[in-house]
Each structure stands twice: as structure tokens, then as C-alpha cells.
């Protein structure tokens, strides 16, 4: 056996980066979440060649102080978390302080940023985790992060990338979810020079559904709203006659975070009781709001899973909200016609 040695920080960083940055869509997710956490009301995402050529995210949020710009790229560097106790009450999408470090470790990045009120902006460039000194530079209010040549220094990962079209589709799907999860933010998504999504950011979930998922899907939806204790459930579910062939149109958010959850899926489907034909599934855009202390978001590096403190209560709140809404429109008495 070779001797045991601690890895160099460079190799350790590359390994850690692999967990956070799996593909272009993971970069877009992290950058957009940062923009949302920065309080942006408008976010523009541009990609070229599925994000492998270029990813650019522009926001009009709070910006980054010039002296903190290099720090933002260090591992475990964050403005969103201070103490161990804070971990129990996370109200931001980010908190791990890993994303910018991970992204910069496996790409060439440029940041241009200016805080509202500052007279000039600042810029930084980095390649493969090495950041150059901060430069003073004119900039609009907010932050633009440009990521080029993703995985240029990790051939193992580069080899496993799918076709550009598949990566583009993954980013487009993600953009739908992000836009739906924040109707108060105007999202624009441009792929290879073409605008493919634009939400108004008027705060209405309905508007975001319409813009992101289209008129046809919006027409099949029934609004739902309810609560159980301090758990609030609201959004839209498909009418029972509009059961779908898969679960792909089930979109859940918990406190503004898009997540995957078997518990929520089960609760939703239970709400339909026997109203759906065998092999048909409901679609939904459902938001669950609950106190930040009642949900653990520190479950997985990609933050797409959560753990509820009171799973039964969450299940019941979703189940009853959906059932009541469907009952109220008289759905319970009519069985859907065969497709
Ligand atoms: P995290 O989001 O978990 O804090 P990141 O590595 O994603 O970690 O970002 C590090 C820090 O950089 C953030 O905590 C935030 O202070 C700052 N930051 C990143 N992106 C932006 C942005 N678009 N606008 C303002 N600040 C940002
Ligand atoms: Mg982040």
C-alpha cells in the first residue's frame, strides 16, 4: 500500500467541486440562487452550447463589496450563515459557501459587480480556482457572473457530458422551476442567442405558470389554497380529467426552494383519491410554506431535498388542501372519461 498523505488543497477542491457542479445546469442553479438571495428583481440567464461554451447570469441585486470579492471564491465562505445555530433556521437558498469556489475550480470565471450607492464597480477573473487581483471597473448595479470553458481542467468530467442539446434542455427545465419558484422575480432565459423564457415578475404564480409552462397546461389547472397549523399550501393542481402520463409536471417548492419529495408526491396523489384513472398522474405547481425551523435543508449538496420535522403534518396539509379544492369544484362525484 502507498503511504497515507493528505491531498493538496487543489486536488481536494476539485473533488469537492465535483459534488456541487455536476453539469452546466448545476452552475446555472447556483448562480441564479445567489442572485435571488441577493434580492434581485430581474435575472437574465444566457447560455451557449448547452452552457459548456458560456454561462452568464446577470442580476440587479445587492452586489458584492470589492474587498469581499476574493473571499466569495474561497471554500466555506458565505454571508448567509455564521453560527451552528443558524443551520437550524436557514431562510436563504444558499448557505454552504461552496458554489463560487466549486465553479471557479473547474472553469474560467469573470465577475463584474457594483453595490447600489457605490460610484464604481469591481471585477475579478479566475481560472481553475486561481483568482487574479480585483480591478476597479465601471459596472451597472448588481452582479454579472460569466462562466466559460466548464470542466476544461477536469477531462474525466468533460468526457461524461451529454450532447449540447441535452444540456440545454436540462438548463431550460431548471429555468422553468426557478421562474415558478419566484414569481416576484422577472426571469429571462436566452439560449444560443434566442430568448426562450420571459416571466413578468409581477408576484403572481399564475403569471409565472402561464409564461413558463404555457397556456395549454395553465388551462388544466385548479387553484388550491389551505393550511394546517403553521403549514401553508398554495398553488395549482391539474383537474382530475387532465391526468397525465407521467409525474414530470409535478413541481413542488418549499419556502421558495424547488425540491423533489416523495412525501409531497404521495400527499398530492392521495388528494385525488380514486378520481384518476390507473396509470394517470396529477400535475401541479405547489408551494409549501412553513417556519424555517420546521425544515432541514442541509440534506444534500445540491439542496434539492429537504427533511420535514413533522412529516405527518406536512402530508396532511397538502392532502387536505388538494382534496378540499377538488371536492369544492364537484370533482368527487364525476369519474373521468377514459382518454
Ligand atoms: P452561498 O450562496 O452558499 O453563500 P456561494 O459560494 O454561492 O455561497 O457565494 C458566496 C457569497 O458570495 C455569498 O454568500 C454572497 O455573499 C456572495 N454572492 C454570490 N453571488 C452573489 C450575487 N449574485 N450577488 C451578491 N452577492 C453574491
Ligand atoms: Mg450560493
Report the CATH number at residue 304: 3.30.230.10
User: Is pLDDT of 137 > 60?
Assistant: yes
Cell of 93: 437558498
Pairing of strands 221-228, 231-238: antiparallel
Ligand 1 contact via 233 beta carbon (within 6 Å): no
How does pLDDT run across 264-279, given as a tens digit for each residue?
999 999 999 889 999 9
Among residues 198, 230, 260, the one where a domain terminates is 198
Q: Which ligand is nearest to the CA of 105?
A: 1
* Per-residue pLDDT at 304: 86
Ligand 1 contact via 180 beta carbon (within 6 Å): no
Beta-carbon contacts of residue 14 (< 8 Å; ≥ 6 apart):
105, 106, 129, 153, 154
Question: Are 180 and 232 part of one and the same domain?
Answer: no
What's the whole-number average pLDDT of the chain? 94
Ligand 1 contact via 73 beta carbon (within 6 Å): no
* Per-residue pLDDT at 339: 54
User: Is pLDDT of 197 > 80?
Assistant: yes
Report the nearest-CA residue for atom 14 of ligand 1.
Answer: 78
Q: Is residue 215 part of a domain?
A: no
Q: Which ligand is nearest to the CA of 29?
A: 2
Ligand 1 atom nearest to CA at 79: 14
Q: Is residue 310 part of a domain?
A: yes
Cβ density class 42-65: b for 16+ within 10 Å, e for less: ebbbbbbbbbbebbbbbbbbbbbe
Q: Is residue 95 part of a domain?
A: yes
* Mean local confidence (pLDDT), 284-294: 96
Ligand 1 contact via 96 beta carbon (within 6 Å): yes
Q: Which ligand is nearest to the CA of 100?
A: 1
Helix (H) or strand (E) holding 237: strand 231-238
Model confidence band, residue 334 (pLDDT cutoffs 50, 70, 90) = very low
322 in Cβ contact with 237 (< 8 Å): yes
How does pLDDT run across 151-183, given as a tens digit for each residue?
999 988 888 888 999 999 999 999 999 999 999
Ligand 1 contact via 80 beta carbon (within 6 Å): yes
Q: Is residue 26 part of a domain?
A: yes
User: Is pLDDT of 338 > 60?
Assistant: no
Q: Is residue 1 part of a domain?
A: no
Question: Are 52 and 181 part of one and the same domain?
Answer: yes
Q: Supply the range of the domain harboring residue 38.
A: 9-198
How does pLDDT run across 204-229, given as a tens digit for each residue?
999 999 999 999 999 999 999 999 99
How does pLDDT run across 45-99, given as a tens digit for each residue?
999 999 999 999 999 999 999 999 999 999 999 999 999 999 989 999 999 999 9
Amino acid at each position: 500500500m502507498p503511504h497515507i498523505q493528505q491531498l493538496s488543497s487543489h486536488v481536494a477542491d476539485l473533488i469537492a467541486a465535483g459534488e456541487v457542479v455536476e453539469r452546466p445546469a448545476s452552475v446555472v442553479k447556483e448562480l441564479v440562487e445567489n442572485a435571488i438571495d441577493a434580492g434581485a428583481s430581474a435575472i437574465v440567464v444566457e447560455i451557449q452550447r448547452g452552457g459548456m461554451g458560456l454561462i452568464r447570469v446577470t442580476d440587479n441585486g445587492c452586489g458584492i463589496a470589492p474587498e469581499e470579492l476574493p473571499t466569495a471564491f474561497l471554500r466555506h465562505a458565505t454571508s448567509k450563515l455564521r453560527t451552528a445555530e443558524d443551520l437550524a433556521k436557514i431562510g436563504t437558498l444558499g448557505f454552504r459557501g461552496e458554489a463560487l469556489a466549486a465553479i471557479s475550480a473547474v472553469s474560467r470565471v469573470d465577475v463584474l459587480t457594483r453595490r447600489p450607492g457605490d460610484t464604481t464597480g469591481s471585477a475579478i477573473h479566475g481560472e481553475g480556482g486561481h483568482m487574479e487581483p480585483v480591478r476597479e471597473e465601471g459596472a451597472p448595479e448588481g452582479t454579472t457572473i460569466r462562466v466559460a470553458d466548464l470542466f476544461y481542467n477536469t477531462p474525466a468530467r468533460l468526457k461524461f457530458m451529454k450532447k449540447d442539446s441535452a444540456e440545454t434542455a436540462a438548463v431550460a427545465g431548471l429555468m422553468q422551476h426557478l421562474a415558478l419558484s419566484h414569481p416576484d422575480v422577472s426571469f429571462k432565459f436566452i439560449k444560443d442567442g434566442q430568448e426562450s423564457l420571459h416571466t413578468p415578475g409581477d408576484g403572481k404564480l399564475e403569471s409565472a405558470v402561464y409564461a413558463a409552462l404555457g397556456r395549454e397546461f395553465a388551462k388544466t389547472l385548479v387553484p388550491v389554497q389551505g393550511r394546517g397549523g403553521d403549514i401553508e399550501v398554495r398553488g395549482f393542481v391539474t383537474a382530475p380529467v387532465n391526468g397525465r402520463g407521467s409525474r414530470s409536471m409535478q413541481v413542488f417548492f418549499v419556502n421558495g426552494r424547488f425540491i423533489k419529495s416523495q412525501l409531497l408526491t404521495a400527499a398530492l396523489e392521495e388528494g385525488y383519491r380514486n378520481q384518476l384513472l390507473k396509470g394517470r398522474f396529477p400535475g401541479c405547481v405547489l408551494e409549501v410554506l412553513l417556519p424555517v425551523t420546521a425544515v432541514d435543508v442541509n440534506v444534500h449538496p445540491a439542496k434539492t431535498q429537504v427533511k420535514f420535522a413533522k412529516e405527518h403534518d406536512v402530508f396532511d396539509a397538502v392532502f387536505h388542501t388538494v382534496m378540499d379544492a377538488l371536492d369544492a369544484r364537484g370533482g368527487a362525484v364525476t369519474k373521468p372519461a377514459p382518454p
